């Protein structure tokens, strides 16, 4: 019997003229679905005259227009019906804190009592019941759960969709183990309104049924987990399978599993020849998108993994890591029938620390997002086999809870959850695996890890991004302003806060002595730090570049030897700063030790204070470590010459707002150290050449000494049938204000039947302008319009784009190459401008200055190759496989007007059609 057999739910959705009910906004549609015995028994829909204009944005969203409501009754007519309809029901809405207050406001204004119904929220319930879904918007939920939902953003349709969603949620929660339900019930009191009632009712009903724990689950304390598969040491694998040298043998293996394509087989043979050559250590491969390059290198290496040697694959992103593990490797094993195993390798911080999570459940929850995240994790733990937090598909990990529940990477011994610790189980599986798939940054920071085994093979996938990812992983900063904030917070906790140490323990003589001793040290430390900041700001005239940002920050770019000359005063001052920082840390630790020792039966407030001081101690440790990293850098003259430095003044008039960042300009020595750890290194990408040669890639990847083998693969299909390239000849100059208007016009009027459109730009300010111009266009009302810097993180934008039926992205930077859209096809890519790097960016200016000092032609040897590779990557967003088709539009007329334009035209693999704006509309509309 279901937990809610006797309850009647009224699932309500409102469409309104605006979100602020007090600001002359009113209901334009009331939708309601009645649920009895967990079945929808009746639906209602009332169109309501608001006696005011419906804003254009609302019309676009809801498809409800002024003429639709002009002849309808107003709310005064429907108020008694609505009040009677909802009487005695449980009020349900997707974001109940909008619908219920709005409806109550209208009822009260028309002389009716506020609804006092039990009220629950399906947004919170969905997040908890389905913790791994990528989105909790109603339209996305109904699509993901295959709920038929005919008219999204219409109140009647949304109410019905929400009703079916509620039923699915209840059924899902009813399958949870009793221990999980008990803990969810104890946490749920912090949820919106009466949403906790769902959990307490289901938990109580389950208790009466006394269900046993299923065989695939286990319980540790009150946490229910999937039973984990523990890797056991195995003897070295042996196989009689040999690499099928003859192509006929490959054809037999491929039959019925994958298409036999000669260019792909040629690539496999080239890689096998390289692996068989004892005198070759590196190979560069450029293979077009969609030609199966990942399968090719997996197939070639796989037969050589039976001699206790592992294959390590490094990709730039977690998305590609997962694709290799979940799609490419299983396909290769299905074809070869080899008994190899593969595991993902990523930082421990991606894994849940069960001990930390268990403790967090009993420390009180400070805020709603943390509470919901805890409840999501509890449900997820009944499902996950890995404990990899990426399964939750979060777009950021900034919630305070993550400080406590992400795994620190240590070996757990003797803890409650030692036997089921996700990180240690992952390490065990990695030890036994034949293929390890990691990411560029992790490899760069852990290339000496024992996990790779002896003399492992290495494949760098998407190799054109490897150097930048290595450099980024080495870049760091010392944020003096943040340290000042920590020190000020410590002083407040110790001396000034009403519930601080001085006020709570003022009668303790020994503690007072320690406090009096520490305070001058804290003040002195701040003064020394301020002197360091003034020394950095005073170097302003030596900067090779000054860049004033729109937010008012001033960025000063320096070569290392200019900012830190050998006989300068910064190094000795930094040593003094470190001594004083260490002293403050030790004295604060003494105070904490004494407080811990004498704590006894402390109150929750005292516990919170001690915990906060401990947190600040950890932050001091972080800054001590950063200061020594900086010292090591400044004391190594070779490293100093390879680094660039940026002094950021958050207030250009205030030297005490100075912060310091450093970035690697030449990664050659780091790359060579990585290469020395591995054997037969393969660098593969769709874009490694510029002007049809590997010169730039070889220099950038520091491969000159290894004299790499080079191979350019051919496409396995006729690209001209899949890709159309159009270059507009009469577009205004991009420095002209009409350029932005014209781009907006193209998006507003010319998209035809396009579903997913990617607009690649180079300027965030221009992105904002275009976004503003197209946001409320009636022609784009079915499109979700997403803009970098305005629609959340880049990961969130990519996720929304993939989920939406129709969407436009206005993006720059990583959208040219760093974000992958494997979950959806792209119909149209618009390159608004050739992707030259901005010379105002500090990292670009510093790198180019270094090349200039080496006597190189920066434009020819660095600027052009980088732009061409990025341009090709942007075009590559379209054709990821043989099934993809699309159009690539170039709006930058310099491709025809400048000498370097020919380099870009030569990089386009099909004929480029020169068209007018008028012809463009026709081309876009009639491409199929």
Q: What is the torsional sign of CA 314, 316, 321, 324?
A: negative
How large is the angle between the packed helices 196-209 and 155-174, nearest 10 degrees?
40
Task: Identify the three-state secondary structure at position 400.
Answer: coil
Q: Which of 149, 153, 407, 440 is catalytic?
A: 153
For residues 723 and 827, give the distance between their C-alpha atoms in angstroms, rounded to a whole number: 10
Helix (H) or strand (E) holding 517: helix 509-537
Distance of CA 690 to the CA centre of its chain: 30
Contacts of 158 (CB under 8 A, 6+ apart): 13, 31, 94, 138, 149, 152
DSSP string, 556-584: EEEEHHHHS-TT-SHHHHHHHHHHHHHHH
For residues 93 and 110, give the distance between their C-alpha atoms in angstroms, rounded to a whole number: 22
Helix (H) or strand (E) holding 502: helix 501-504
Residue 565 near residue 575, CB atoms below 8 Å = no
For residues 636 and 269, give the distance between their C-alpha atoms in angstroms, rounded to a whole number: 45
For residues 620 and 628, give the distance between their C-alpha atoms in angstroms, rounded to a whole number: 13
Angle at 505 between CA 500 and CA 506, to 5 degrees: 100
Residue 60 near residue 189, CB atoms below 8 Å = no
Residue with tokens 């870009």: 904
Contacts of 202 (CB under 8 A, 6+ apart): 3, 170, 173, 174, 176, 181
DSSP string, 698-737: HHHTT-GGG--EEEE---SS-GGGTEEEEEESSPPPTTSH
Residue 52 near residue 17, CB atoms below 8 Å = yes
For residues 878 and 534, give the distance between their C-alpha atoms in angstroms, rounded to a whole number: 50
Q: What is the torsional sign of CA 111, 114, 117, 122?
A: positive
Beta bridge partners of residue 886, listed in sequence order: 723
Contacts of 279 (CB under 8 A, 6+ apart): none
Angle at 651 between CA 616 and CA 653, to 5 degrees: 130
Joined together, the tokens standing for residue 228 give: 């984990």
* Residue 313: φ, ψ to 5°: -115, 130
For residues 910 and 717, give the distance between their C-alpha atoms in angstroms, rounded to a whole number: 13
Joined together, the tokens standing for residue 719 give: 């690209």
- Sheet containing 658-664: order of strands: 476-478, 658-664, 643-649, 554-559, 545-548
Neighbours of 41 (CB within 10 A): 11
For residues 181 and 173, give the distance between their C-alpha atoms in angstroms, rounded to a whole number: 8
For residues 564 and 624, give the distance between their C-alpha atoms in angstroms, rounded to a whole number: 20
Joined together, the tokens standing for residue 623 give: 């800054």
Per-residue DSSP letter, 370: H
Distance of CA 463 to the CA centre of its chain: 21
Residue with tokens 């229910």: 224
- Computed over its alpha carbons, how large is the radius of gyration of the chain? 31
User: According to DSSP H, which parts of 804-841 are helical?
Assistant: none
149 counts as catalytic: no
Joined together, the tokens standing for residue 528 give: 């020394």
Taking Cα atoms as reference points, which of 259, 244, 238 lies closest to residue 300?
A: 244
For residues 62 and 155, give the distance between their C-alpha atoms in angstroms, rounded to a whole number: 9
Residue 826 near residue 757, CB atoms below 8 Å = yes
What amino acid positions are annotated as catalytic residues? 153
């Amino acid at each position: 019997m279901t937990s809610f057999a006797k309850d009647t739910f009224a699932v309500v959705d409102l469409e309104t003229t605006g979100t602020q009910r007090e600001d002359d906004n009113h209901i334009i549609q009331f939708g309601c679905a009645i649920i009895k015995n967990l079945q929808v028994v009746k639906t209602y829909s009332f169109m309501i005259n608001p006696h005011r204009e419906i804003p254009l944005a609302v019309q676009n969203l809801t498809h409800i227009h002024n003429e639709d409501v002009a002849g309808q009754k107003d709310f005064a007519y429907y108020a008694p019906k609505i009040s009677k309809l909802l009487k005695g029901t449980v009020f349900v809405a997707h974001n109940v804190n909008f619908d219920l207050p709005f409806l109550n406001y209208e009822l009260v204004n028309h002389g009716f009592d506020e609804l006092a119904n039990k009220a629950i929220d399906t947004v919170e319930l969905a997040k908890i019941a389905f913790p791994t879904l990528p989105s909790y918007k109603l339209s996305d939920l109904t699509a993901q759960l295959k709920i038929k939902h005919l008219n999204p953003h219409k109140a009647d349709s949304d109410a019905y969709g929400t009703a079916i969603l509620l039923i699915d949620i209840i059924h899902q929660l009813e399958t949870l183990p009793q221990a999980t339900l008990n803990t969810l019930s104890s946490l749920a009191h912090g949820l919106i309104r009466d949403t906790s009632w769902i959990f307490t009712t289901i938990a109580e009903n389950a208790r009466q049924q006394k269900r046993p724990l299923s065989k695939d689950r286990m319980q540790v304390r009150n946490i229910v987990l999937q039973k984990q598969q523990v890797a056991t040491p195995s003897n070295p694998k042996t196989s009689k399978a040999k690499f099928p040298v003859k192509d006929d043998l490959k054809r037999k293996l491929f039959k019925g599993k994958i298409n036999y394509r000669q260019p792909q087989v040629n690539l496999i043979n080239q890689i096998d020849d390289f692996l068989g050559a004892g005198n070759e250590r590196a190979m560069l491969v450029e293979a077009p998108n969609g030609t199966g390059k990942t399968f090719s290198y997996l197939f070639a290496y796989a037969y050589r993994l039976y001699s206790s040697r592992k294959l390590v694959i490094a990709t730039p992103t977690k998305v590609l890591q997962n694709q290799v593990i979940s799609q490419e490797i299983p396909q290769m094993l299905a074809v070869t029938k080899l008994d190899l195993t593969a595991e993902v390798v990523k930082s421990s911080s991606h894994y849940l620390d069960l001990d930390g999570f268990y403790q967090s459940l009993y420390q009180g929850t400070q805020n709603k997002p943390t509470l919901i995240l805890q409840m999501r994790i509890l449900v997820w733990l009944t499902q996950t086999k890995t404990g990899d937090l990426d399964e939750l598909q979060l777009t950021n990990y900034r919630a305070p809870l993550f400080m406590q529940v992400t795994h620190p990477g240590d070996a757990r011994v003797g803890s409650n959850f030692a036997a089921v610790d996700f990180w240690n189980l992952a390490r065990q599986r990695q030890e036994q695996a034949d293929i390890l798939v990691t990411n560029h940054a992790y490899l760069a920071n852990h290339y000496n890890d024992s996990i790779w085994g002896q003399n492992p093979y290495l494949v760098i996938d998407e190799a054109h991004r490897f150097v930048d990812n290595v450099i980024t992983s080495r870049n760091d900063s010392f944020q003096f302003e943040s340290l000042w904030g920590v020190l000020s917070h410590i002083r407040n906790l110790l001396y000034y806060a009403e519930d601080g140490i001085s006020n709570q323990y003022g009668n303790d003589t020994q503690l007072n002595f320690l406090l009096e001793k520490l305070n001058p040290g804290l003040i002195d430390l701040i003064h020394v730090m301020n002197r360091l900041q003034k020394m950095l700001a005073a170097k302003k005239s030596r900067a090779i570049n000054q860049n004033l940002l729109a937010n008012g920050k001033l960025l000063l770019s320096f070569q290392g030897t200019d900012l830190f000359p050998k006989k300068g005063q910064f190094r000795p001052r930094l040593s003094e700063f470190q001594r004083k920082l260490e002293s403050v840390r030790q004295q604060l630790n003494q105070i904490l030790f004494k407080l811990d020792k004498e704590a006894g039966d402390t109150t929750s407030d005292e516990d919170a204070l001690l915990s906060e001081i401990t947190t600040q101690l950890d932050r001091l440790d972080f800054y001590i470590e950063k200061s020594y990293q900086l010292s090591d850098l400044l004391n190594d003259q070779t490293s100093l010459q390879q680094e660039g430095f940026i002094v950021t003044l958050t207030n250009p008039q205030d030297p005490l707002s100075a912060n310091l960042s450093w970035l690697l300009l030449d990664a050659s020595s780091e790359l060579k150290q990585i290469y020395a750890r591995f054997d037969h290194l393969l660098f593969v990408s769709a874009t490694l050449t510029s002007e049809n040669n590997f010169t730039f890639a070889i220099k950038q990847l520091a491969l000159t000494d290894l004299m790499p083998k080079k191979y350019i693969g051919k496409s396995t299909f006729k690209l001209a049938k899949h890709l159309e390239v159009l270059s507009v000849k009469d577009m205004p100059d991009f420095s002209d204000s009409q350029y932005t208007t014209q781009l907006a016009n193209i998006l507003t009027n010319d998209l035809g039947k396009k579903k997913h459109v990617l607009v690649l730009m180079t300027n965030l300010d221009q992105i904002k302008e275009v976004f503003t111009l197209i946001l409320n266009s009636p022609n784009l009302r079915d499109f979700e319009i997403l803009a970098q810097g305005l629609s959340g993180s880049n990961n969130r934008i990519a996720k929304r784009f993939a989920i939406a039926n129709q969407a436009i992205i206005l993006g720059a930077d990583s959208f040219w190459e760093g974000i992958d859209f494997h979950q959806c096809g792209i119909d149209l890519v618009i390159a608004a401008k050739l992707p030259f790097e901005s010379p105002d960016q500090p990292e670009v200016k510093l790198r180019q200055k270094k090349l200039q000092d080496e006597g190189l032609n920066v434009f020819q040897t660095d600027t052009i190759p980088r732009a061409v590779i990025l341009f090709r990557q942007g075009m590559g967003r379209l054709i990821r496989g043989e099934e993809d088709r699309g159009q690539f539009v170039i709006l930058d007329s310099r491709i025809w007007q400048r000498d370097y334009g020919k380099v870009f035209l030569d990089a386009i693999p099909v004929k480029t059609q020169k068209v007018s704006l008028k012809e463009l509309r026709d081309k876009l509309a009639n491409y199929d």
